[in-house]
C-alpha cells in the first residue's frame, strides 16, 4: 500500500520533503528506516513532537528504497488519511 500511496501522490519521500509536510500538518503516518542516521532520527522526531503522527520503524533504508524504486531512503511520509489508516490497520493486523 505504501507504493500505491507514492504512485497516487499521497506521500512525501526524504527527510526534507517529509519535514516540510509535517510542519504544514500534511503527514498522517511516517515510515522512518530503523537504520537511519542519528541526525535524521532527531530531525523527524523533533518535527512530529506534539503532533498526532504515527511513526513506524519496521523497515531498513534499503527496504524503504525498494518500495519506491530507489537504492535507499530514510523517510517516507503518508499524507492521505485513508492510505495512512489502511496502512496502519494492516500493520496492526500483521503484528
Domain residue extents for the chain: 2-94
Q: Smallest Cα–Cα separation from 27: which of 68, 65, 55?
A: 55
pLDDT (mean) for 58-69: 96
Counting runs of H as helices and runs of E as strands, what totals does the chain give? 5, 4
pLDDT at residue 92, as a whole number: 86
Look up residue 64 and give its three cell numbers: 524503504
The alpha carbon of 50 is separated from its chain's Cα centroid by a whole number of angstroms, namely: 17
Q: What is the CATH number of domain 2-94?
A: 3.30.1330.30
Percent with pLDDT over 90 in the chain: 95
**56 neighbors 95 (Cβ within 8 angstroms):** no
**pTM of the shown model:** 0.94
Amino acid at each position: 500500500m505504501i507504493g500505491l500511496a507514492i504512485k497516487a501522490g499521497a506521500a512525501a519521500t526524504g527527510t526534507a520533503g517529509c519535514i516540510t509536510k509535517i510542519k504544514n500538518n500534511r503527514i498522517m503516518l511516517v515510515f522512518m528506516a530503523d537504520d537511519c542516521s542519528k541526525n535524521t532520527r532527531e530531525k523527524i522526531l523533533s518535527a512530529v513532537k506534539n503532533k498526532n503522527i504515527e511513526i513506524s520503524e519496521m523497515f531498513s533504508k534499503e527496504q524503504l528504497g525498494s518500495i519506491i524504486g530507489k537504492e535507499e531512503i530514510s523517510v517516507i511520509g503518508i499524507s492521505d488519511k485513508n492510505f495512512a489508516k489502511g496502512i496502519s490497520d494492516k500493520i496492526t493486523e500483521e503484528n
